């Protein structure tokens, strides 16, 4: 599947897209090495994430479970596949209003992002926009999503040279 990245020219073009689906990312497979790297970086070494043998014995599916925060962190990467503003200076993660981890993502699962533009609020005299996205992370083959999250990014327009 070829991903059609939706792009707008400037932040002034964003309000026209409020309420519209922006698109769907490609699939990404989350393997144990990615989980282990995240555990090392985050300090979250809960056995359900990193102990493959114990998970095989004690977890219902017999596989480790991806950190919820790893799933959330992948929204930035997957979101950049879906949408962009061509003439921008920078984008900054402003936070999240709501994050829910609905279904555990198991090691080896494939996930992808569905993204909608929920709101645009001008900032800094119109030189920036606070952009709210509704994000749903789908698990390949699962009826229920892995995660739903309302995330916020501040996008600064390109400065005149």
Tens digits of residue pLDDT in 31-75 = 999 999 999 999 999 999 999 999 999 999 999 999 999 999 999
| Alpha helix ranges (H) inside 1-142 | 32-42, 47-50, 52-58, 68-82
- 1 pLDDT above the threshold of 60: no
pLDDT value of residue 159? 66
| Relative orientation angle of helices 32-42 and 68-82, to the nearest 10 degrees | 110
Percent of the chain topping pLDDT 70: 97
> What is the band of 4 on the pLDDT scale with cuts at 50, 70, 90?
confident
pLDDT value of residue 63? 98
Q: For residues 135-146, give the mean pLDDT.
A: 98
| Alpha helix ranges (H) inside the chain | 32-42, 47-50, 52-58, 68-82
- 99 pLDDT above the threshold of 60: yes
Q: For residues 103-122, give the mean pLDDT.
A: 98
> What is the band of 160 on the pLDDT scale with cuts at 50, 70, 90?
low
Q: For residues 20-35, give the mean pLDDT.
A: 97
- 134 pLDDT above the threshold of 60: yes
Tokens of 39: 């555990």
- 30 pLDDT above the threshold of 80: yes
Q: Are 69 and 76 in contact (CB under 8 A)?
A: no
Could you tell me which residues are beta bridge partners of residue 115? Answer: 23, 135
């Amino acid at each position: 599947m070829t991903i059609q990245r939706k792009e707008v020219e400037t932040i002034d073009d964003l309000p026209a897209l409020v309420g519209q689906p922006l698109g769907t990312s490609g699939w990404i497979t989350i393997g144990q090495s990615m989980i282990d790297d995240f555990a090392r970086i985050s300090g979250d070494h809960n056995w359900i994430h990193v102990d493959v043998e114990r998970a095989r014995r004690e977890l219902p599916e017999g596989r480790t479970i991806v950190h919820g925060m790893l799933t959330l962190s992948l929204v930035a990467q997957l979101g950049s596949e879906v949408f962009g503003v061509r003439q921008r200076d920078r984008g900054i993660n402003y936070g999240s209003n709501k994050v829910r981890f609905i279904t555990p993502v198991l090691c080896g699962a494939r996930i992808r992002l569905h993204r909608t533009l929920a709101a645009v609020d001008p900032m800094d005299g119109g030189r920036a926009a606070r952009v709210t996205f509704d994000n749903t992370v789908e698990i390949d083959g699962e009826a229920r999503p892995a995660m739903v999250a309302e995330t916020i990014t501040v996008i600064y327009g390109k400065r005149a040279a």
